């Protein structure tokens, strides 16, 4: 069966620079290929559709013209073509007009990430070997034993943390032993769940982190608004070197702290629900929910 595994990455500064280069290369190839396909479709809509294999054939001359593309994992650029090809297929298959043509990827609004399907090797308890990046520190790699990695995605979260998401093929999980017990669950407001045997599970509580998240969300919005006003002021006054939003460190700090507290709340909620559902599944054979 296929499952998803997510690990935290700890790249050094050289690897961080490489990752940003690879993020940009994927975006660059998408935009170049999309621009070519748009012109082709605009000039003659009856031309045969370009398959992902034909798009991959164009990567070789593109790498000669732009040598920096060689710094990326070649499989990631091929997957960009595959995703673009699928987007065009969805556009042509749609008869309702709700699916539009693929759009260009923006550096400012696109989540930094790239997907590859090359071989990922376990180099130690807390180290992996990734193509082009070399040996990179990660969280515990024990979960990757006896699994077949199909493809992987390296991404940068708004909190500033790097993650490796893996699509892996694993063996079927072992079945739990029968307990002969049954239970009914009533989902409440004051309590998260009330069992038919009288047991209650309290509602999830992360009030401190939720409050900090709200505080930094307000600071983020206020600082971004002020930074935007200053940028517009420089633009109107035709300053020689106008400031950009990215140049305001206090806004960048608020953005990261806001994202970190929001991620903290989400992780705690997920952990609480996983522990609760795992306990219920191990204790009861039949579970009825309102």
The tens digit of pLDDT for each residue in 219-271 reads 999 999 998 998 888 888 887 888 888 888 888 889 889 999 999 999 999 99
Average per-residue pLDDT in the chain? 88
Tens of pLDDT along 12-23?
Answer: 999 999 999 999
Residue 32 confidence (pLDDT): 92
Tens of pLDDT along 114-127?
Answer: 999 888 888 888 89
Whole-structure pTM over 0.85, yes or no?
Answer: no
Share of the chain above pLDDT 90, in %: 34
Q: Is the pLDDT of residue 69 over 80?
A: yes
Q: Is the pLDDT of residue 25 over 90?
A: yes
Alpha-carbon distance of 10 to 127, in angstroms, equals 10
Mean pLDDT calculated for residue range 49-72: 89
Residue 136 pLDDT class (50, 70, 90 cuts): very high
Alpha-carbon distance of 251 to 222, in angstroms, equals 9
Residue 190 pLDDT class (50, 70, 90 cuts): confident
- Euclidean distance between the first and final Cα of the chain, in Å? 30
Dihedral in degrees, nearest 10, Cα atoms 25, 30, 31, 35: 140
Q: Is the pLDDT of residue 185 over 80?
A: yes
Which residues share a beta bridge with 148?
169
> Tokens in use for 181?
């017990």
For the chain, what are the domain ranges? 1-174, 178-290
Burial 80-99 (b: 16+ CB within 10 A, else e): bbbebbebbeeeeeeeeeee
Provide the pairing of β-strand 127-130 with 200-202.
unpaired
């Amino acid at each position: 069966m296929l499952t998803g595994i997510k690990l935290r990455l700890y790249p050094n500064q050289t690897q961080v620079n490489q990752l940003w280069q690879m993020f940009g290369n994927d975006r660059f190839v998408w935009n170049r290929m999309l621009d070519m396909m748009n012109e082709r479709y605009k000039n003659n809509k009856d031309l045969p559709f370009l398959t992902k294999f034909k798009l991959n054939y164009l990567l070789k001359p593109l790498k000669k013209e732009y040598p920096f593309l060689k710094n990326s994992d070649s499989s990631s650029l091929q997957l960009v073509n595959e995703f673009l090809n699928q987007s065009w297929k969805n556009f042509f298959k749609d008869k309702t007009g709700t699916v539009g043509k693929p759009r260009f990827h923006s550096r400012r609004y696109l989540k930094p990430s790239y997907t590859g399907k090359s071989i990922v090797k376990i180099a130690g308890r807390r180290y992996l070997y990734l193509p082009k990046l070399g040996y990179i520190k990660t969280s515990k790699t024990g979960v990757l034993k006896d699994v077949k990695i199909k493809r992987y995605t390296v991404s940068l979260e708004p909190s500033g943390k790097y993650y490796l998401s893996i699509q892996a093929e694993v063996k079927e999980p072992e079945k739990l032993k029968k307990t002969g017990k049954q239970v009914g669950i009533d989902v409440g407001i004051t309590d998260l769940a009330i069992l038919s045997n009288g047991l209650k599970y309290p509602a999830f509580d992360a009030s401190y982190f939720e409050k900090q998240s709200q505080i930094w969300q307000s600071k983020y919005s206020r600082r971004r608004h002020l930074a935007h006003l200053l940028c517009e002021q420089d633009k109107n006054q035709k300053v020689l070197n106008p400031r950009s939003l990215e140049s305001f460190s206090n806004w960048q700090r608020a953005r990261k702290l806001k994202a970190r507290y929001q991620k903290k709340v989400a992780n705690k909620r997920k952990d609480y629900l996983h522990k609760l559902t795992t306990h219920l599944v191990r204790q009861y054979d039949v579970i009825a929910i309102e």
